[in-house]
Amino acid sequence: MSNINFQILAKNNKARLGSILFKKYNKIVDTPVFMPVGTYGCVKTILPNELESIGTQIILSNTFHLWLRPGIDIVNKHNGLHNFMKWDKPILTDSGGFQVFSLNNANKISEEGVSFSSPIDGRKLFLTPEKSMQIQYYLDSNIVMVFDECTPYKKNNKIISIDDARRSMNLSMRWAQRSKLEFNRIENKNNIFGIVQGGMYESLREESIEKLINIGFDGYAIGGLSVGEPKDDMKRLLEFIPDKLPSNLPRYLMGVGTPEDIIYAISNGIDMFDCVMPTRNARNGLLFTSYGNLKIRNSRYRDDLKPIDDSCQCYTCKIFTRSYLHHLQKTNEIVGSRLNTIHNLFFYINMMKEIRASIKNNKFTEWSKNFITKRSIGIQ
C-alpha cells in the first residue's frame, strides 16, 4: 500500500498539473515542482523560514554526505532530518549513487556495492543498496531513492558503448530490487522511487522501465542525464522516456537544470526537478532574470541603481540595487551570497508557480514560448 497519493488535476498537451499527498505527514506538494538542494541538511546560505517564505514546498538532501557528516547517529538523536534541520515540509533524499559516481577515487564497483575512500578523511567505506536504505530510514525522508550506478556519458574519453551501458543498467536494476526488499524489510513507512538508467540508448531505457515497474515503486525518476551529454541527446531521451512511465505516478528528472531545460521536460510530462544551479550560481554571482542571466560581478553594474530584475517580487529585488550586490560580490561578503540565493531560488519557485497556473488555464505552450523568448532578449 503506497504512502503517497498523486493526482493529475489538469493537462496541457503532455504538461501535467498535479498534487502529491504525503499520507504519513499529511503534507501536499503541488507539481510541477522544483526542489532546492540542501546537501548537508541545509540549503547553503538560506534559512528554513526564508525557504518557506519564497514558496519552497520540498527540498532535497543527500544520503551520502549526511552519512559522512554529521553521521546517522547524530541525526537519529534528533528523531530524523526534519527535526535536525527544523524543516517541517517534505524532504527527498538522493541515495548516494551519483556522489559515488562523481568521486574520482571511488569506484571499486562490485555486485555487492561500492568501496571507496572518504573524501573527508580517506577512510575506507563501503556503500550497498541495503546500507543506503538503512541510512535513509533514519533520516526519515519522505521520498527515498534507490541506490544505483549513474551511467556516465563517456568512458575512457569515448561515448559509453551499448554493452557497457547495459551492464551498468542491469546492475542498477538488481540494486533497485535489493533496495526495495530492504525498504520493505525495515518497514519504512515513507515512499521509495525507482531510477531509470540506460545511458543514451532508448532500448536500454525502455528495458530499465519495464524492470522497475515489475518491482513496483511509488514514483519513477530519470537518472543519467545532465552528465555531460549534448543537449540534443538529453532532449531526445526526454521525448522518449516519460511516455513509457506510469501515468498515475510522479515523474522526477534528477539534476536538471536550466529554466529552459525544466520547461522542455515539463512539456514532455515531467513533474519534479532538483538542481544545484540556482544556489551554486548565486554564490558565484550569476543571477537568473526574466531577460536572461546576469553576471553581477561585471563592472557595468558598479553604479547600476536598478534591481536585479524589475519584474521580480523577491526580497532582494524589492530592497537592493545591482550596484550594492556588485559591491558585495566583489568584496566576497556572505550577505551577497545570501541575497543572490534568495533571488535565484525565488526565480525558480515563482517560475514553477507560473507554469502550474498556465497548465491549469490551458496556456502552457503560449506561456513557455513567451518566457523563453523574453529570456533570449538579454539583460536590460
pLDDT at 266: 98
Q: Are residues 228 and 120 in the same domain?
A: yes
- Which residues are annotated as part of the binding site for Zn(2+)? 312, 314, 317, 343
Q: What backbone phi and psi angles, to 5 degrees, belong to 104?
A: -70, -30
pLDDT at 82: 97
In a domain, 112, yes or no: yes
Q: Is the dihedral of CA 254, 258, 262, 264 positive or negative?
A: negative
**DSSP designation for 287:** E
pLDDT at 89: 97
Q: Which residues are catalytic?
A: 94, 274
CA distance 345 to 340: 9
CA dihedral of residues 83, 84, 88, 93 (deg, nearest 10): -120
In a domain, 380, yes or no: no
| Count of structural domains within the chain | 2
Buried/exposed 265-276: b ≥16 CB within 10 Å, e otherwise: bbbbbbbbbbbb
pLDDT at 57: 98
- Which residues are annotated as part of the binding site for substrate? 94-98, 148, 197, 224
Q: Are residues 320 and 220 in the same domain?
A: no
pLDDT at 104: 57
Q: Tell me which residues of the chain have a pLDDT lower than 50.
A: none
pLDDT at 309: 97
Q: Are residues 8 and 99 in the same domain?
A: yes
Q: Give strand pairing partners of 4.
A: 22
Q: Are residues 214 and 262 in the same domain?
A: yes
Q: How far are the Cα atoms of 55, 311, 317, 325, 343 from residue 380, in angstroms, in the given order?
A: 27, 12, 15, 17, 17
In a domain, 234, yes or no: yes
Give the HSE-up count for residue 288: Cα atoms under 13 Å, Cβ half-sphere: 24
- Which residues are annotated as part of the binding site? 94-98, 148, 197, 224, 312, 314, 317, 343
**Domain assignment of residue 360, given as a range:** 284-375
The residue from 275, 301, 316 where one domain ends is 275
Strands 59-62 and 91-94: parallel
Q: Give strand pairing partners of 295.
A: 286
pLDDT at 109: 87
